[in-house]
Amino acid sequence: MGRLFGTDGVRGIANEFLTCERAMQIGRAAAMVLTGVRRRRTPVVLIGMDTRISSGMLASAIAAGLCSVGADVIDIGVVPTPAVAYLVGKYKADAGIMISASHNPAHFNGIKIFNEDGYKLPDELEERIESIVLDNQPIPALQFGDGIGQITRCTNAAKDYIERLRSTVLYSLDGLKIAVDCANGSASVTAEKLFEELGAEYHILFNKPDGININKNCGSTHMEYLRNYVLEHQLDAGVAFDGDADRCLCVDDKGNIIDGDMIMAITALDMRARGKLINNTVVGTIMTNLGFTKFCEDQDIRFVATKVGDRYVLEEMLLEDYYFGGEQSGHIIFREFSTTGDGQLTAIQLLSHLRRSGKKLSELASVMVRYPQISVNVNASSEAKLAYYTDPDIKDALEKAKTTLGKSGRLVVRPSGTEPLIRVMVEGEDNALIESVANNIAELIRQKLSDL
């Protein structure tokens, strides 16, 4: 993790860590690093945002920073994050910026930056932006008169993005009965139109954002309501997005949660059957469930694991020419169609397979058996996250825990790149054992790092 950027952009509490001043500085730095403001033509940057109360404020601050050094801004309003990634290319912009804190509560916000090809930035470019913002490195000269950039507003962005999504599905979803949880976030402006045009019988939930209800007891991090709704209304499936709609998790016809790993298992088999699983490989992360690894072994599919973060998954895909990958959290990348994780794209690809197969989603999901997994989050400051790596007692406890779990279990402890947390994840065949190990490690971390 960098000093500003985590695993998915800059993120923090709005007006505390992520102030207007910092947002303006990031805008100026991004203009220097990404657009080359000294080109002959005026550089253009797209800015989209989610539905948080602070998103408009921060978008305005970043736009001001960009315009102050001579870049033009196209304000595309409330859209999903993957819409920004796609529209950068369609609108021939030099970069795209999304204001969102994804699955985090409303008081957080964040800044995700895409290059001219719609890809999230590599570490090197993020470090250059950090250096400009934090180390007082030179920024582009402020412009005056007709050198100042202008802001224009685009009203077709959501429509253009929906058309792109529709083009990826060759068959209608006619006959499917589904519930769609928009998390009171970005999907609120796109999901209903998308599923209407695809012909599904849909029930739209949590699509009334008020600035503070994004992700609140809804969306992909709170699946209880959707699960009960699917069962009560006897639907074929439910799909849930997060605040910026780059994640998708599902509920099957029996009320079981279908996470990102299971979505990948179902989809990988479908892609292989259609000749679309290039190099017979799926890319996941170190957090991918052991059950998915076993599924890949049984199906003779190659599995490659990366660091946590869909941008690392994509980097591996680009490096080795793989076309499918994702995360347990629901960031799924279909490289044939997108340059980043896309929740609505994932939903319609999965539902299209469901429609074509004529099977129940619960039947499709039976191809993978998920290993029991326990996750415990420990609150941790930035200082505590750094101390975690060097504390000898924690290191010793982790080694002993791994020995206890043996080959039938797995322990992953990592500082979060998006929240002030250290995440402890343990999985294995013995529920009681993994719960004990997870709680003991989490409690030790609390004791050792609580004063930092």
Tokens linked to 346? 């994932």
Q: How far from chain centre, in Å, is Cα 163? A: 21
CB 364 within 8 A of CB 266: yes
Which residue of the set 68, 100, 102, 186 is catalytic?
102
* Residue that the structure tokens 């609108």 belong to: 91
Residues forming a β-bridge with 178: 202, 237
Q: Residue 301: how many CB atoms within 10 A of its CB?
A: 19
Tokens linked to 394? 């924690």
Residue 412 DSSP SS3: strand
Residue 433 DSSP SS3: helix
Considering only CA atoms, which of 258, 272, 260 is closest in space to residue 363? Answer: 258
Q: How far from chain centre, in Å, is Cα 19? A: 23
Tokens linked to 102? 């994804």
Strands (E), 26-182: 44-49, 72-78, 95-99, 108-114, 151-153, 177-181
CB 388 within 8 A of CB 422: yes
Q: Phi and psi dihedrals of 201, rounded to 5?
A: -85, 105
Q: Residue 218: how many CB atoms within 10 A of its CB?
A: 25
Backbone torsion region of residue 102, taken as left when φ is above 0, otherwise alpha when ψ lies between -120 and 50, otherwise beta? left
CB 368 within 8 A of CB 262: yes
Active-site residue flag, 102: yes
Backbone torsion region of residue 89, taken as left when φ is above 0, otherwise alpha when ψ lies between -120 and 50, otherwise beta? alpha
> Terminus-to-terminus CA distance in the chain, angstroms?
18
Catalytic residue numbers read 102
